[in-house]
Structure 1
Amino acid sequence: MTSRSSRLAVALVATATATLGVTVANPSPAAAAATICYNTSQAPSYASTANQAASIWNNATSNLTLTANCGSNLRIYQITGGGSYAVRTSLGNGRVYIDTQQAAQYSPLRIITHEIGHILGLPDNYNGNCAILMSGGSAGTSCTNPYPSTAEANRVTNLFAGTRSATERSTDSSGATVFRDSWPAALAPVS
């Protein structure tokens, strides 16, 4: 198609959609929102908590949407024992395991939001600061903050902004990355 024909076709589509009251966004490819589909069928006790965690990430980032049950980029599992952890197979893809014993001691929402943070590209930050989501269990059992800091949210936004090539986003150089030990072992009951 010639350049003039292309411009005419774009103008006709824009006029038709404007007449119909339809707004057509023309974002650059780097600004397009990424959708990560998560599945909670293996974590029924934590499905509503996972939905809250997804909402937190959706509100904290500008180009990322976590959507329930539209696919399986991210699978969330409920386990008993062994600790909560994440396995990122590539940026935005992987598995999150929620340990029911840890979730009885730490905020389940903080745990799930933190573990999803690993899937979204964030490492642990064991500084004990409750305001830092990725500090995980180092902030103690009294910390219930499930919100990423501005720096953490900006990092995720940048990772999904197209600043990395498709190859970098789809594979890690060493394969799957496992994030364990974000949460101290379950405390033994006092007898």
Structure 2
Amino acid sequence: MRLPKLSRVLAALAATTMAAFGAVAVEATPASAAVRNVCYNTSQAGPFASYANQAASIWNNATANINMAQCGSNLMIYYTYGGGSYAQRTSLGNGRVVIDYYQAQQYSPLRIMTHEIGHILGLPDNYNGNCAILMSGGSAGTSCTNPYPSSGEAAAVDRNFSSFARTAATSGVFADSWPAPAAVGAAR
């Protein structure tokens, strides 16, 4: 059963507020539902914390089997200056995302964040250059700002989270989704 969007947004807001006070909200679901909590942490995300929150909301609204909230550190969000944006998945729904500050000045930071979280949720890169496909990453070019997964990508995440039997085969580092940024002045 899929919750209406407003209910999911309110639940995420309540979880965020409770997390600020040290409490963890876990949404009650029927035993037949396959909703899994993906707890993320933006304490090291710097200027990209709001993008992580927006990306979590996008994934919550696009899927039925996950609930992303700031309720722990299964998924850590970081940023760096140079070296490229990437995701390192340790198991399904767990790992870290690193956003390259310089790349985020050339490409849509929200698209980068949502794409990299897609890797944590079990999606591979798809270098077809199609802006409508979130996992096409930087191959869609700098003018592509679409941060939304296609219905096929959302369905794949739902399938991934309907069973955790595949977690051992879904770890890895996903780098080079975004072309290297143009030459920048001296590194900080």
For Structure 1 versus Structure 2, the TM-score category normalised by the shorter chain is 0.7 to 0.9
Q: Spell out, residue by residue over 1:69-90, the C-alpha distance to the aligned partner (whole angstroms, 9 max, x if none).
A: x111100001010000000000
How high is the TM-score relative to the length of structure 1?
0.79
Contact 1:73 1:93 in 2 (8 A): yes
Kindly state the Cα deviation for residue 100 of structure 1 after the two structures are TM-superposed: 0.1
Larger Rg: 1
Is 2:163 the partner of 1:188? Answer: no
Contact 1:38 1:75 in 2 (8 A): yes
Cα distance in 1 for residues equivalent to 2:86 and 2:30: 38
Is 2:60 the partner of 1:58? Answer: yes
1:75-154 pair list within 5 angstroms:
75-154=76-155
Q: Spell out, residue by residue over 1:56-103, the C-alpha distance to the aligned partner (whole angstroms, 9 max, x if none).
A: 0000000100001x1111000010100000000000000000000000
Question: Which residue of the partner structure matches residue 14 of structure 1?
Answer: none
Is 2:172 the partner of 1:177? Answer: yes
Match of 2:31 among 27, 30, 50: 27
Kindly state the Cα deviation for residue 25 of structure 1 after the two structures are TM-superposed: 5.6
Cα distance in 1 for residues equivalent to 2:177 and 2:29: 40
The sequence identity of aligned pairs, in percent, is 68
| Structure 2: tracts of 5 or more residues without a match | 1-27
Q: CA RMSD in A?
A: 1.7
| Structure 1: tracts of 5 or more residues without a match | 1-23
Contact 1:35 1:64 in 2 (8 A): yes
**Corresponding residue pairs, total:** 158
Kindly state the Cα deviation for residue 38 of structure 1 after the two structures are TM-superposed: 0.4
Contact 1:40 1:77 in 2 (8 A): yes
